[in-house]
Amino acid sequence: MPERSWRYMIQVLTEMELQRELDDLGSAGWELVTAHWEEFSLGGRMHMQARCILKRPVDVLDELDESDGRYEPVGIV
């Protein structure tokens, strides 16, 4: 059986877009590894964003496949 490879991606999502984006990424085979909440100020108001690390399994033959263009994968392990 071939060894499993993973493609990793870091994505920063605001609290407003988090659930929708995670649903979209999950549909594309990405799974959430970890998320860290951060506060930031915009327009004099405090907001929250999540810095997420996601992974998706890839086959050895699939390693050269590019992402769907919306997200930049950080690497394959």
Distance of CA 20 to the CA centre of its chain: 12
- Kindly list the domain boundaries of the chain, sorted by start residue: 5-62
Given pLDDT bands bounded at 50, 70 and 90, which one contains residue 24?
A: very high
Q: Per CATH, which fold does 5-62 belong to?
A: Alpha-Beta Plaits (3.30.70)
Enter the tokens of residue 13.
């999502």
Q: 3 pLDDT exceeds 90?
A: no
pLDDT by residue (tens digit) across 28-77?
999 999 999 999 888 999 999 999 999 999 864 454 455 555 555 565 55
What does pTM read for this prediction?
0.69
| Amino acid at position 51, single letter | R
